[in-house]
Structure 1
């Protein structure tokens, strides 16, 4: 999976274990992941046997969900896909606008890998042959390969002054971790999509502060759109980063957006992921969930992303400011109409948290 500031990699056992504990009390068949991001949670839930519907507004996130949630590995087996990846891997490198913008003007990748990315991306559409899921699988392989040779701390608001050691490696395409079974990927505004979906359980991991995911992962958006965008600043961000805004990234608008969203969800159970660096205090989220009937708050400490731990540097390589803290608290809020689920979570929560520390 790609490096992702909102990634729940370390929290997956906690999240999936909580949802499974609900399932043990009241059978859960369908789960909606409304802000799917890197698709890590949706992928993990599909692996547990749930039917997952993943949604995100970002195009790169939609591509990841198509591959990791919707695609069925029985249809897109390694035996079928790997020869295509091998052909793409063997294409001669070609330097063009992507190499210039993201390897020379900005230094996200070594130029040798930028030229490989460019050649593969140009050849990928023909190899996909009009099959949208195969296209998504090939693009996911390319994103994962590029992520392994990038030169960032995990977000694309900036790149490292000196090349990361991994950036010197050669880009290599691998078969993505596809899973057997069906799923569904959607691309849309969560506020609009939520009103048209029904599921047993919704999982929400909304943006929680002013930093947009498009701004943090603009290179992936460009890689999948392949639209030669206008860019700005030292980081060569897409110009539309300044225009495509989410109300969840606005302290003034986030509360109304969250309350509107919660009012549109049709489900028996809701799991909300948040942390103490967000716009809302834990008590505020609990208050917004009261109309669901029963609410449990689960808490655990979690290390902040690596960029926050090493500090912030200006373009001259000078450290700017101080790191205020290296750890935050992650929350899971479980809202349910079922008293049985609510009561069962009391004992399960303590046992699950103890097993994770």
Structure 2
């Protein structure tokens, strides 16, 4: 496969800020392009594994790829930068919105004028976020900004709307200590700049980040939101799988940790809040990948679903169940040739200097016929 080096040099776009210009014109390779992708603090994020995945995808070759659990969106974006026609999927709405803004979208950016309008006076008197989450996560001014921002975002359409929502989601994630919404208060405040900044300040910077990674290709890319078992794209050259890693105890439920981002991505429309909970969280969206009791069957069903793909590439951790040998057995049921790469990796819990860290191996399983 011949790589198409992703670059936005020569793209005519009005009034880009210095940060936007840096993001769009200084990329000189596929990997550098992907490493500019806005970083979302996310369980299992693959930013540090991009060099390994880039080599793996390049060696496998082909023209089409499915990223079935897109998460932060960075691997879908890497595949796009490598010249694949990408289908990006996730069962979390905010993840699929990010993928639409950065993978499916190849040309549109949010103008500085639109950003200033969103950061200006509210277009209506909505106060759902201020009322529901008062004194729980952010200051009154920050919560009021989220309501106000949505009063303008509701007037946007298409990829501009997706960029605005993605920037709002990333703003909330960066502002929240540890990036998760399983607790209230500031007991994890480590003094980072991200925590000291207002959400309005965050939003301006996050839009510039997302604007800066928009680039055009000669490929067709699609971002969808749904269950992996409902995907219709089942026989691409590469299927990349990065499901939740089921721990031996507890679960790997993403809704439990990122429900505020999920609600914010759609202004909580059509989402069920649990009013009796202290955090006013959303009802969990069940996934069989998050639990030890159901993970083996879920992996086996997924491998069978994509048995017609040219290659199946799976990321998984040595900290999770099932163990590597069992995954190899399951993958060989549909792909007889299985290669396993073990990469030393350190998982971080918390954001401060004394945060707990756990050494583990991040496995890349490659199954072929």
TM-score scaled to structure 1, two decimals? 0.79
In the other structure, the counterpart of 1:139 is 165
Q: Secondary structure at the match of 2:47?
A: coil
Cα pair distance change 1:308/1:91, threshold 3 Å: closer
RMSD: 2.4
Task: Please name the residue that 1:236 is paired with.
Answer: 280
Does the 8 Å contact 1:154/1:306 carry over to 2? no
For the residue of structure 1 that corresponds to 2:141, the secondary structure is helix
CA contact 2:173–2:261 (8 Å) conserved in 1? no
Find the aligned partners of 1:96 and 1:34 in 2 and give their Cα distance. 36
The Cα offsets for residues 222-277 of structure 1, whole Å up to 9 and x where unpaired, read as 10121264234333321x12xx2111122222111111111111211111000012
Rounded Cα–Cα distance in structure 2 between residues aligned with 1:17 and 1:200:
15
Unaligned runs of 5+ in 2: 1-37
Which string of whole-angstrom CA distances, capped at 9 and with x for unpartnered residues, describes residues 68-105 of structure 1? 110112xx145xx332122112235978231344451x
Question: Which residue does 1:185 correspond to in 2?
Answer: 223
Distance 1:334 1:162, change over 3 A: closer
Residue in 1 that maps onto 2:150: 121
What TM-score do you get using the length of structure 2 for normalisation?
0.77
User: Any idea what the Cα deviations from partners look like across 1:116-148, whole Å, max 9, x if unmatched?
Assistant: 12200121111x1xx333221211122223333
1:254 to 276, 279, 295: 295
1:168 is aligned to 2:168: no
Is 1:34–1:56's contact at 8 Å kept on the other side of the alignment?
yes
After TM superposition, the structure 1 = structure 2 runs for residues 23-38 of structure 1, keeping only pairs within 5 Å, are 23=61, 28-38=62-72
- Judging changes above 3 Å, is the alpha-carbon distance between structure 1 residues 147 and 154 closer, same or farther for their aligned structure 2 residues? closer
2 CA distance for matches of 1:42 and 1:103? 36
Which segment drifts farther, 222-231 or 87-96?
87-96
- Distance in 2 (alpha carbons) for counterparts of 1:91 and 1:63: 25
Structure 1 unaligned spans of 5+:
313-322, 338-357
Question: How far apart are 1:9 and its partner, in Å?
Answer: 0.9
Distance in 2 of aligned mates of 1:92 and 1:125: 12
Between structures 1 and 2, the one with greater helix share: 1
Deviations, residues 4-52 of structure 1 (Å, cap 9, x unaligned): 12211111111122111222xxxx1111000011111111221222221
In structure 2, do the counterparts of structure 1 residues 196 and 46 end up closer, same or farther at CA, with 3 Å as the change threshold? closer
Contact 1:30 1:52 in 2 (8 A): yes
Q: Distance in 2 between matches of 1:92 and 1:167?
A: 24
Q: CA deviation at 1:162?
A: 5.4
